[in-house]
């Protein structure tokens, strides 16, 4: 009213509360959905890395670790 002191009228606006907060609720559900997708992605990547980087299966040949050729050479030279 201080901007236009010559005007003697006011505008009153009414709005239903659900209609007023509808955009905020919509954004809230989208934000929760984004957090859910991020959490699921992080869990999936973590599971994939934990399976991928797990200890090798038992059926793998362990000759790299045991070095059977070196053991045989030493036995033959003695």
4-58 pLDDT per residue, tens: 777 777 778 888 988 888 999 999 999 999 999 999 999 999 999 888 887 666 6
22-35 pLDDT, tens digit each: 999 999 999 999 99
Report the distance separating Cα 61 and Cα 24, nearest Å. 60
Domain span holding position 29: 17-77
Give the contacts of 10 (CB within 8 A, at least 6 positions apart).
Answer: 1
pTM: 0.50
pLDDT top residue among 77 and 53: 53
Answer whether residue 59 shows pLDDT above 70.
Answer: no
What's 34-64 look like in SS3? HHHHHHHHHHHHHHHHHHHCCCCCCCCCCHH
Residue 70 counted as domain residue = yes
Phi, psi of 66 (to 5 degrees): -80, -25
Structural domain count, the chain: 1
Q: How far is it, in rounded angstroms, from Cα 52 to Cα 43? A: 14
């Amino acid at each position: 009213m201080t901007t236009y002191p010559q005007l003697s009228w006011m505008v009153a606006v009414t709005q239903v509360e659900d209609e007023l907060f509808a955009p905020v609720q919509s954004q809230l559900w989208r934000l929760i959905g984004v957090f859910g997708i991020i959490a699921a992605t992080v869990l999936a990547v973590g599971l994939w890395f934990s399976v991928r980087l797990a200890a090798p299966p038992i059926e793998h040949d362990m000759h790299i670790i045991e070095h059977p050729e070196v053991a045989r050479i030493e036995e033959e030279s003695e």
